[in-house]
Structure 1
Amino acid sequence: MRRLSTPFLRNLLNFCVIKQQRISIHTTMATSDKSRIAVCQMTSVADKATNLSVVSQLVKDASKEDVQMMFFPEACDFICDNIKDTLKSAEPLLTGETVKAYRQLAKDYNVWLSMGGLHEKNEEDPSKLFNTHVIISNKGEIVQTYRKLHLFDVEIPEKKIRLKESDFCNPGSHIVTPVESPVGNIGLGICYDLRFPELSTSLSILNAQILTYPSAFTYTTGEAHWHVLLRSRAIENQCYVIAAAQVGNHNAKRRSYGHAVCIDPWGSVLVDCGEASPMYMVAELVPARLGDVRRNMPVFQHRRPQVYSLYTLSLRKDLLPEHSESQEDVATTADTKCPSEGRIFGHVRIPESCVFYTSELTYAFVNLRCVTPGHVLVAPIRLAERNKDLTAEEANDFYRTIRLVQMLMERVHQTESCTVTIQDGPDAGQTVRHLHCHIMPRKRGDFIQNDLIYLELAKHDQFSSSHPGKPPRSLTEMETEAAMLRQELMNIPINPNI
């Protein structure tokens, strides 16, 4: 008889013999407005069926305690000891059996799931995968996905240490706006992202109430930094922090720190799973606690956006097309670009609802992808490709409109500066063969180096998986902005010099 000494068998033994610990932590806030979450800890191995069995049992047990959402660690699907097996075991999210099983669990047990850091197969580049955080609703729907931005690359030759996630993984391209859930607005990160406070700060400014970092921290770094970093992210952003964790020996090469935690906005640790596996702990999140902390220590009001800015964020709100079962998201974007009716703009049409000003020969409209807030466009009504193609009358009207719109945007965005630029011809960066002027309100510090705005402008409409730029806005967002600008135009005094 074989001894139960391998990590694989020890994991099975722990699961079958050890009763999962269930600890509910109640905060001192006297209110009925609470939500319950379970933060989970496990020891993933190379066998996906074994890991799925662990996840399934944890979901089954925690659902009996009326939790609304469960948080699982990075690599809850599997952990292999070599790149070849890791790439071979990766699955696409929509058609892969592992995510299908997670979705069914969520539906069967009526609980939302945060499945952190799954190995997503990269259909375009089989030599690399994505480390993808998936949020699943209690109806079994994929609500949102986030691809890990910061890859853990450490190489110390003298210690024979080489841990380079970039050897087999591609980074994501966007911060994902906080996800609305029954337990609050959740900002998504994964493991090593924890070390980059600009990500968590961006998410908190975007109204995250919870920051989550599913992780597989190494034992050495976890022992030194895990609790310090997590408590720091909670304190500086005044958010709950939930960090599910891998723990123990996955194979002969890899050991994780554990200590899955939930931390409140004051930095107090509500639950800590220690080094037991598999297990979960239950914590109660109290929205009023957020309000109390933020009111008593109003750091959001004390920020200095005139000194430093977050305008250059690359954000994504909607699901990536390859993660969406419905074609509605794709159709909406296509319809926004090319409506059947509207004003001709090069090879596309602009909906009338997105136009906020029209003169005799020129019109101004809101932008599908904005380099800065308030980035709008002005174009001649006639399809003139280059500046030299305008008649004298059109040129006069075009420039008068540019001046008026610049005045409007500076008024609306409370600034005294704009970048006003024309990319006149393909070698100057023109991608739409219709003359147009970009008007971009500017504030001090919105770009680290002022001229970087032109780099952003050059790529802002080149949005694809291979060349990520600014993600497109929804038609509703654009129509709302255009309606506001039309109203604001009525408040601008008539200037005979324009």
Structure 2
Amino acid sequence: MTFKAAAIQMCSGVDPARNAETMARLVRDAASRGAIYVQTPEMTGALQRDRAAMKAALRDEDGDLIVKAARALAAELGIHLHVGSTAIGLADGKMANRGFLFGPDGSKITHYDKIHMFDVDLDNGESWRESSAYTPGGTARLVNLPFGKLGCAICYDVRFPELFRAQAAAGAEIMSLPAAFTRQTGEAHWEVLLRARAIENGMFVIAAAQAGRHEDGRETYGHSMIVDPWGVVLASAGSTGEAVVMAEIDIAAVAAARAKIPNLKNGRAFSLEEVPLPAAGGVAA
């Protein structure tokens, strides 16, 4: 089966209502060009460093503005709409970095909470501690859709190949990877990580990204991308500005790639043995 997929590139600000309007405009553009699966970036609802302001605007899933807008859009356009993620308020006062997948009738198919928290210290004093505000998820999601099996990941999850391998082993043919990659890490690693996850698992990777300088001062890398199971970049956006990145997805390419390089079948269990330093004048076993 073949179908058109789209990755929406945004530069979300601090106002969820304005971001919802941008999302709607770009999603309608993608649907008008034939996309039946449309993905938006991580933190579509808002990128906001001011935690107090963010929590003041926070809602639970039922009251969230982006969730409501996406549900209506999916039904209006008759598409599968994947909100890469938005911040959702939890009962414990923390937040979930939660993605949502809505069906063509507007119903929620599933959600996915980002598992791996971006707790890092980069060069030039750039530091992030997602775990201070967000509760990590603990469940991977694999969704059976009419056009293929879709696995879910968000941004920093890309650095944990075991998450992708587990879903590929369970039959995933497409991995979603909405992101808000920093400019610094994106320049170094974004494309190579996306292509690596696609190649080593023989699957498509669809990655909608945030791009440019945001109202809260951060800068994201952009380059929203769709990669095929052989590692070929089918479509890519630039480093700044809004974009609608589209590609024709031929699910048969997954089986073809896995037939050529059957590493999912050829993997073997193994043990790990650490060899000690040899004693003076001796030889290690």
TM-score between both structures, scaled by the size of structure 2: 0.91
Q: Which amino acid aligns with 1:292?
A: A
Q: Give the Cα separation in 2 of the matches to 1:187 and 1:207.
A: 9
Q: Aligned to 1:180, what secondary structure does the other structure show?
A: strand
- Count of residues in Structure 1 that have an aligned counterpart in Structure 2: 272
Quote the offset at 1:217 in angstroms: 0.2
Pair 1:141-2:107 in alignment: yes
Quote the offset at 1:92 in angstroms: 1.3
Residue 192 of structure 2: which of 208, 216, 228 is its match? 228
Q: Give the Cα separation in 2 of the matches to 1:182 and 1:214.
A: 21
Superimposed CA distance per residue, residues 42-92 of structure 1 (whole angstroms, 9 cap, x where no aligned partner):
100001111111111112111111211101000111111311122222221
Superimposed CA distance per residue, residues 211-237 of structure 1 (whole angstroms, 9 cap, x where no aligned partner):
111000000000000001000000000
Partner of 2:30: 62
Q: Give the Cα separation in 2 of the matches to 1:275 and 1:54.
A: 18
Partner of 1:170: 135
Is the contact made by 1:68 and 1:183 (CA closer than 8 Å) also made in structure 2? no
Q: Give the Cα separation in 1 of the matches to 2:113 and 2:9.
A: 21
Partner of 2:243: 279
Partner of 1:364: none
Residue 68 of structure 2: which of 94, 100, 111 is its match? 100
Q: Aligned to 2:61, what secondary structure does the other structure show?
A: coil
Q: Aligned to 2:62, what secondary structure does the other structure show?
A: coil
Is the contact made by 2:182 and 2:220 (CA closer than 8 Å) also made in structure 1? yes
Superimposed CA distance per residue, residues 374-410 of structure 1 (whole angstroms, 9 cap, x where no aligned partner):
xxxxxxxxxxxxxxxxxxxxxxxxxxxxxxxxxxxxx
Which runs of 5 or more structure 1 residues have no equivalent in the other structure? 1-32, 309-444, 446-498
Q: Give the Cα separation in 1 of the matches to 2:171 and 2:244.
A: 27
Q: Give the Cα separation in 1 of the matches to 2:135 and 2:42.
A: 16
Q: Give the Cα separation in 1 of the matches to 2:33 and 2:110.
A: 25
Q: Give the Cα separation in 2 of the matches to 1:252 and 1:94.
A: 26
Higher relative contact order (CA 8 A, sep 6+): 2
Is the contact made by 1:35 and 1:182 (CA closer than 8 Å) also made in structure 2? no
Q: CA RMSD in A?
A: 1.5
Is the contact made by 1:36 and 1:183 (CA closer than 8 Å) also made in structure 2? no
Query: Aligned residues: percent identity?
Result: 35
TM-score between both structures, scaled by the size of structure 1: 0.53
Q: Give the Cα separation in 2 of the matches to 1:294 and 1:155.
A: 37
Partner of 1:239: 203
Q: Aligned to 1:256, what secondary structure does the other structure show?
A: strand
Pair 1:193-2:193 in alignment: no
Pair 1:131-2:101 in alignment: no
Is the contact made by 1:218 and 1:255 (CA closer than 8 Å) also made in structure 2? yes
Which runs of 5 or more structure 2 residues have no equivalent in the other structure? 273-285
Q: Which amino acid aligns with 1:122?
A: L
Quote the offset at 1:243 in angstroms: 0.5
Q: Give the Cα separation in 2 of the matches to 1:183 and 1:73.
A: 21
Q: Give the Cα separation in 1 of the matches to 2:124 and 2:231.
A: 35
Partner of 2:176: 212
Partner of 2:45: 77
Quote the offset at 1:290 in angstroms: 1.1
Partner of 1:335: none
Larger radius of gyration between Structure 1 and Structure 2: 1
Q: Which amino acid aligns with 1:206?
A: A
Q: Give the Cα separation in 1 of the matches to 2:81 and 2:105.
A: 10
